[in-house]
């Protein structure tokens, strides 16, 4: 299994997410190589808050989330791939000091945002908040990670709309909620259960991202 896409951080993260989502075996050497490759991108040109940066290829093309939704903006790519990178680094077992260095800028930005009277608990947009939740659930911002999860979930609850959530990509948000170790996350899955059931009934194809989306729905429905 080849994890690293030398020309794409997005492609590398997709391979890693595939491994961890489906519980596939991963050799120690593979984990080490991927961890070092991602960590080496921290602070490079195009980085968001010093997190691992997208490659030139990533910046020139649309980036797809693990569940198939598209990120088109440069800032969105940099932020979301950065959050996903910190999460991957944590899962791969990167040295804590290296993780802390890569996460420091994002943690500082989040702490400053939280001091604003207009802070909602979310960060930027729905997709960015879902990516942040995935990173926080993995402990990618260190010891402060758990401090910000409740606020993100409160924000998600505030934007409920017709069984889903305004501004949030449906499948990617479900994927994020599966990792959150809080009762509030299960409450959001319960709320979305009817929409999940309808979506599951429509997913008849095995092409593209349909298998992943089906697996996300099955796991989420099993939680409610």
Chain Cα centroid distance, residue 6: 21
CA-CA distance, 79 to 50, in Å (whole number)? 10
pLDDT of residue 221: 98
Mention every residue, 6+ apart, whose C-beta is less than 8 A from residue 208: 68
For residue 37, is it within any domain? Answer: yes
- Flag whether pLDDT at 38 surpasses 90: yes
Mean pLDDT along residues 54-62: 97
Residues 147-190: tens digit of each pLDDT: 999 999 999 999 999 999 999 999 999 999 999 999 999 999 99
CA-CA distance, 69 to 127, in Å (whole number)? 9
Spatial contact of 197 and 221, defined as CB atoms under 8 Å apart: yes
Chain Cα centroid distance, residue 74: 17
- Flag whether pLDDT at 2 surpasses 90: no
State how many domains the chain has.
1
Residues facing residue 165 across a β-bridge:
160
pLDDT of residue 132: 98
Spatial contact of 17 and 48, defined as CB atoms under 8 Å apart: no
pLDDT of residue 43: 97
Residue appearing with tokens 């569940």: 67
CA-CA distance, 73 to 24, in Å (whole number)? 32
For residue 26, is it within any domain? Answer: yes
pLDDT of residue 205: 87
- Both structure tokens of 214: 């089906």
- Flag whether pLDDT at 1 surpasses 80: no
For residue 2, is it within any domain? Answer: no
Mean pLDDT along residues 133-138: 98
Domain extent for 21: 9-222
pLDDT of residue 194: 98
């Amino acid at each position: 299994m080849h994890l690293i896409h030398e020309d794409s951080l997005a492609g590398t993260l997709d391979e890693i997410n595939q491994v961890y989502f489906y519980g596939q075996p991963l050799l120690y050497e593979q984990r080490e190589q991927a961890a070092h490759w991602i960590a080496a991108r921290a602070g490079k040109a195009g980085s968001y808050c010093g997190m691992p940066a997208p490659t030139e290829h990533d910046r020139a093309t649309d980036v797809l989330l693990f569940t198939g939704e598209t990120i088109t903006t440069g800032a969105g790519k940099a932020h979301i791939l950065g959050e996903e990178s910190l999460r991957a680094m944590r899962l791969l077992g990167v040295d804590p000091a290296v993780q802390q260095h890569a996460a420091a800028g994002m943690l500082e930005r989040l702490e400053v945002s939280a001091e604003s009277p207009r802070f909602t608990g979310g960060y930027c947009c729905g997709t960015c908040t879902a990516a942040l939740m995935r990173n926080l659930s993995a402990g990618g911002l260190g010891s402060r990670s758990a401090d910000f999860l409740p606020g993100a979930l409160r924000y998600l609850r505030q934007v409920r709309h017709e069984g889903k959530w305004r501004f949030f990509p449906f499948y990617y948000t479900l994927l994020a909620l599966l990792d959150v170790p809080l009762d509030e996350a299960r409450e959001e899955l319960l709320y979305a259960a009817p929409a999940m059931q309808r979506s599951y009934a429509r997913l008849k194809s095995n092409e593209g991202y349909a298998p992943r989306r089906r697996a996300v729905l099955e796991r989420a429905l099993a939680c409610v």
